[in-house]
Amino acid sequence: MTNAELDSKLDQKDRIKKLTREFGSKSANIIFISEKRSLTPIAPYVAVAVGEEWISRLSEIKKLGDCKVRSSSPLEDRLGFSFAGLFRTENYEGPLYVDSVLRSAKTGRVQKYKERYSISGSDDMALLFHKTVEGITWHILRHPHRTNVLIVQSDLSDDDYVYNCEDEKLYNSRSMGNNLVRNLVECSDCALDEAIAHYLDIEKLYSGKNTYHMECKLSPFSLLQWRPAFKITTANWVHEKSNTDFCMGISDKEGFDAPVFVFDGKVGLDKAALDDFNNSRIKSCSEQGVVYVEKLDNYLLNYGVPLDFMFDKSCTLITDSYSGILRHDGLRSMQHFKHLMVGTKLYVKTGDVLRVRTDGCYGSVKSIN
């Protein structure tokens, strides 16, 4: 990178920080992308600054027609701390709906989230009034550990794809099994091509050290949201039973032993059994008190209660498909698991103990029952 390019990146970083302090993270990224990529289709919006009386912008808001009022806190949509799904978005139909969004910054769930992860900062919130765009919401995220893979999902559970940046093709991910790219059934849904092209273009504006989550609409494409999600780390993991390569986040060099709780969305979640598991198994495992969590063949990471609130001592998540991980609870939960394996199968049952070893790039996981 040349000195001029480096200076430009630093200037852009300072610009985003300034916009975030003034308009909150959600609006800051929308404004920044509007400034730098004027041809990116973004529905008309009104960004109300922190401390600004939104009613003073009422004439502009009315010109939007049907619109949503979204939270835009300086705290949310930060790397590792998204607050996704904790702050409110409402269909704007008057002051009561705006109050609902503002009040969401002070709910018990938000305060618990801040306390758990030692997040400091004011509860003051900016607002983003965004013209309503009809259609299904789509999500795109570069895989945090396999940088040649983009995860592509919609709010419909059956729509789940990966985009391989190496061959520039979109694949259906339902039959992926243990392999992230090979042996995939090529997908013919080319309506996503434009969204992926915009993702790759916007990504160039930001640091190459992180991966970003984009929400958008299709037919036609319209950008709804852009936020940092994870640090990019390269990890090549070996499951000792099958020698399957998979990707995982960084952990302690020494590794650890931990009991497994198998979460199966097809069966559901027994809260009483979960409480018993947390209370009894943690006491009998390693000093680190880590619960190892697996998700089996379902497209939800929660049954009404997000995993990051449910498993207080969890640090590892294995999921055998990409389905649902980019929706609010899934994204937020993923950000707070210290170790993350996406797109691999591990055949264990609740109560089994796994041994995890890693040096930050290579490692193994095996059952030690």
Q: What are phi and psi of 163, to 5 degrees?
A: -115, 125
Residue 271 reports pLDDT greater than 60:
no
CA 85 to each of CA 50, 197, 215, 305, 364: distance values in angstroms, whole numbers, following the listed order: 20, 27, 13, 12, 33
Residue 198 pLDDT exceeds 50: yes
| Chain segment 164-197, per-residue pLDDT in tens | 888 888 877 654 444 444 444 566 667 788 999 9
If DSSP codes are grouped into helix, strand and coil, which group holds residue 83?
A: coil
User: Dihedral of CA 96/98/99/105: which sign?
Assistant: positive
pLDDT digits (tens, 9 = 90+) for 13-50: 899 999 999 999 999 999 999 999 999 999 999 999 99
Most confidently modeled range among 178-187, 216-225, 271-280: 216-225
Model's pTM, two decimal places? 0.83
Report the b/e string of 248-276 with b at 16+ CB within 10 A: bbbbeeebbebbbbbbebeeebeeeebee
User: Do 171 and 186 form a contact (C-beta atoms < 8 A)?
Assistant: yes
In one letter, which amino acid is 344?
T
What 3-state class would DSSP assign to 175?
coil
